[in-house]
Structure 1
Amino acid sequence: MTKTIMLSFFVFFITLAHAQKVEFTEYDLDNGLNVILHQDNTAPVVTVGVMYHVGAKDEQPGRTGFAHFFEHLLFEGTENIERGEWFNVVAANGGSNNANTTQDRTYYYETFPSNALELGLWMESERMLHPVINKIGVDTQNEVVKEEKRSRIDNAPYGRVAYSTGINPYMFDKHPYKNSVIGTMEDLDAAELDEFKAFFDKYYNPNNATLVVAGDIDVPKTKKMIADYFQSIPSGDEVERVNITEDPIEDKIIATEYDSNIQIPLTALVYRTPSMKDREAYVLNMISSVLTDGKSSRMYKRMVDEDKIALQVLAFARSQEDYGTYLIGALPLGDVELSKLRDVMDEEIEKLQTELITEREYQKLQNKFENQFVNSNSSIQGIASSLATYQMLYGNTNLINEEIEIYRSITREEIKEVANKYLQENQRLELDYLPEPTE
């Protein structure tokens, strides 16, 4: 056996060991901060992450974009970290860092050599305890966010589909999911400095956060450092959660959007779906795989390979804390009419609604989701993010170990039932996403 093959087997078995079970310790500080520790001493690396239960859905009308804006603003500096030095401090200590925002939460993290664990904890406590929020920081990050919006949405092909800004306003009437995560520049430009400070005071408190430390740690020593840096941070008022129920979609919505960045149109069927916590959301993920995951999937084989009417097909669920959306779409090949693509997509949906998927398809599904489960728990950064997400948004941290059992228990009959329940023509948006017409 060659050294390369031996190394491949070694990596494979290490990955399986990670995937078998993620051990963790979970507790709360007196100020309400939820803490999750995962010890893995196989490599001298540690990730420190803090997830705050605040996202775009928590913003006030006329002030969209605040949650995402803070993802940028809170790297500006603190009372003890000079403005513009955050990234330099991390890099100088051999680390990396990032942050991301969704409709439901905001997550910040650093990955360091494990001997810099205390530095990571100190920096996150600084971010939580006393960041500097001033006009120069707000003005600077305002320009950064505008450029991000231009590059990712306004000037990116299919950007308003990828980021749902061209979809969610049709799918939600009452719920703030109708707004985009990045918000509008008009709202950010109109906001006063005191409004940014008030947003921080309301949401960036230990009792609205989960701290995760994963990697090469000593648990008792880590607990001591966490107490030293976070216990004294005062808790805030309890956050009132968004609790808005949407009326069901009962009549088909037909819409057209235009994009000057594309040459090939897209047609999409979009459905409103249940919370990420709902078992049916897991079933919809499996339906996506049946339809478009790989060259042997149903829509790919028929529309791309056999009928040659589509250049590309896609199906995916965007699950969230309160509701989700489910999109099935296709790009035409040549001059194929978008109506033809919709007809064929409907035929494939009808097959799911009237016939059980085959035993072979079912076994392939199980294999794919087993593989995804292994991969999701194969890195320290991934484990840290998953632990925080399962605790905060699902209310069950141990889903990091148990979620695969949900997929294993889903039956062919359930796939048929969920397709019938949610993929109905009168409950959807039919969106044609077209190139901007020329003069």
Structure 2
Amino acid sequence: SAAPQATADLPALVAQVQIPYQRFVLDNGLTVIVHEDRKAPVVGVAVWYNVGSKDEPKGQTGFAHLFEHLMFNGSENAPQDYFQYLAEMGATDYNGTTNFDRTNYFQTVPRPALERALWLESDRMGYLLGAVTQEKLDNQRGVVQNEKRQGDNQPGGLVFYELLKTLFPEGHPYHHSVIGSMADLDAASMDDVRKWFTDKYGPNNATLVMAGDVSAAEAKVLAEKYFGPIARGPVNTPKAADVPTLAQDVRTVMKDQVAATRVTRYWPAPGITDADLTALNVGTSILGGLASSRLDEVLVRDEQLAVAVSAGNFDFQRVGILSVSATAKPGVDVAALEARLDELVA
């Protein structure tokens, strides 16, 4: 028979989880983080910009994401599509993403291609505007709007809009979605592009990360070489945002062409800097974030009221959204499932 497993000392286990890194800041304000890992001859390169959709002014919703698309359409010294350059150098896992709080660009490249990857990232950080044209703006506007149509037409695709509108009042930085409105996307102009780039994309508003087959000493030389000459820009101070309290509970029923009925509870929650964040994340995982969770045990396996459950905390910089959900088993009274879900959450 197997020997009994010794109880692990949790603090000791946690202490073993370390990702060593070095951090330094260039004279122009660019923060550089380096993690050396020689297991494979590749380097992950990422640039994170301290700007997201919550920083968009009224009438420019969706612009942070639209601008992310423009960053792949060529720069002054690399005028072709960036995906072409990345494929040519053997890059993998390359893309960009935008959310409420930040925009990032990333790629994993063979070690011999590291300098070329850094040159490309530095060129679009410092020398983008000369390559942006009205034609490129119109093209990417259409791409983003098509992405919005695809998302909106998926089952449940309109739920998140309703959620943001309900939890966060008009004027709150998290009231609108990252994808934005069709009208605001239509209104985006070349002047908006120039102002966004000038105000938000300076090196002092960014963090460069290199992880893999590179030392901190090597990375510092390369960062200085390619990013050092780029001038500082304005500092983007992320918009402040309170965690709202609803005047009363809000109940919304939305219908779609789906075979199942889902009941979900949402609450506004604190953001990533709050002392309660870990407790919220662990608590929702215990409640419904694991196959062995309490909601699974009771609603799916024991009482068979639901075919699926979930719980989680979407933690953003200033706020979070805590959710608990159950999808009714066919033939089950939804009101009964809802009442039981509320009992378990309480």
Q: TM-score, normalised by structure 2?
A: 0.91
> What does 1:171-320 correspond to in 2, within 5 Å?
171-173=167-169, 174-260=171-257, 262-320=258-316
Quote how far apart the aligned CAs of 1:99 are: 0.8
Quote how far apart the aligned CAs of 1:277 are: 1.7
Match of 2:38 in 1: 41
- The one-letter code of the counterpart of 1:194 is D
**SS of the residue aligned with 2:136?**
helix
- The one-letter code of the counterpart of 1:204 is Y
> What does 1:10-409 correspond to in 2, within 5 Å?
20-84=17-81, 86-96=82-92, 97-131=94-128, 132-151=131-150, 153-161=151-159, 164-173=160-169, 174-260=171-257, 262-350=258-346
Q: 1:167, 1:42 → 2: CA distance? A: 44
Task: Determine which structure has the larger helix proportion and give its number.
Answer: 1
Match of 1:366 in 2: none
Q: 1:312, 1:218 → 2: CA distance? A: 46
Quote how far apart the aligned CAs of 1:246 are: 4.8
Contact 2:271 2:319 in 1 (8 A): yes
Q: CA 1:120–1:327 in 2, change beyond 3 Å: closer, same or farther?
A: same
Contact 1:264 1:332 in 2 (8 A): yes
Quote how far apart the aligned CAs of 1:247 are: 4.2
**SS of the residue aligned with 1:271?**
strand
Quote how far apart the aligned CAs of 1:343 are: 0.9
Contact 2:243 2:318 in 1 (8 A): no
**Residues 212-241 of structure 1 deviation map (CA, whole Å, 9 limit, x = unaligned):** 111101332221111011111111122233
- The one-letter code of the counterpart of 2:186 is D
Q: 1:60, 1:275 → 2: CA distance? A: 21
Q: 2:255, 2:192 → 1: CA distance? A: 34
Quote how far apart the aligned CAs of 1:30 are: 0.9
**SS of the residue aligned with 2:90?**
coil
- The one-letter code of the counterpart of 1:267 is V
Match of 1:408 in 2: none
Q: 1:69, 1:191 → 2: CA distance? A: 9
- The one-letter code of the counterpart of 1:52 is Y
Q: CA RMSD for the aligned pairs?
A: 1.9
Q: Which ranges of 4 or more aligned residues in structure 1 deviate by more than 3 Å?
A: none
Contact 1:53 1:106 in 2 (8 A): yes
- The one-letter code of the counterpart of 2:207 is T
**Residues 253-284 of structure 1 deviation map (CA, whole Å, 9 limit, x = unaligned):** 11222334x23222111001111121312111
In structure 2, runs of 5+ residues without a counterpart are 1-12
Contact 1:276 1:320 in 2 (8 A): yes
Quote how far apart the aligned CAs of 1:182 are: 0.7
Contact 1:133 1:197 in 2 (8 A): no
**SS of the residue aligned with 2:235?**
coil
- The one-letter code of the counterpart of 1:55 is G
Equivalences, count: 330
**Residues 291-319 of structure 1 deviation map (CA, whole Å, 9 limit, x = unaligned):** 22334311112111122111211111100
Q: 1:341, 1:282 → 2: CA distance? A: 29
**SS of the residue aligned with 1:214?**
strand
Q: TM-score, normalised by structure 1?
A: 0.72
Quote how far apart the aligned CAs of 1:198 are: 0.8
In structure 1, runs of 5+ residues without a counterpart are 1-15, 351-439
Q: CA 1:22–1:312 in 2, change beyond 3 Å: closer, same or farther?
A: same
Contact 1:288 1:315 in 2 (8 A): yes
Q: 1:246, 1:327 → 2: CA distance? A: 15
**SS of the residue aligned with 1:284?**
helix
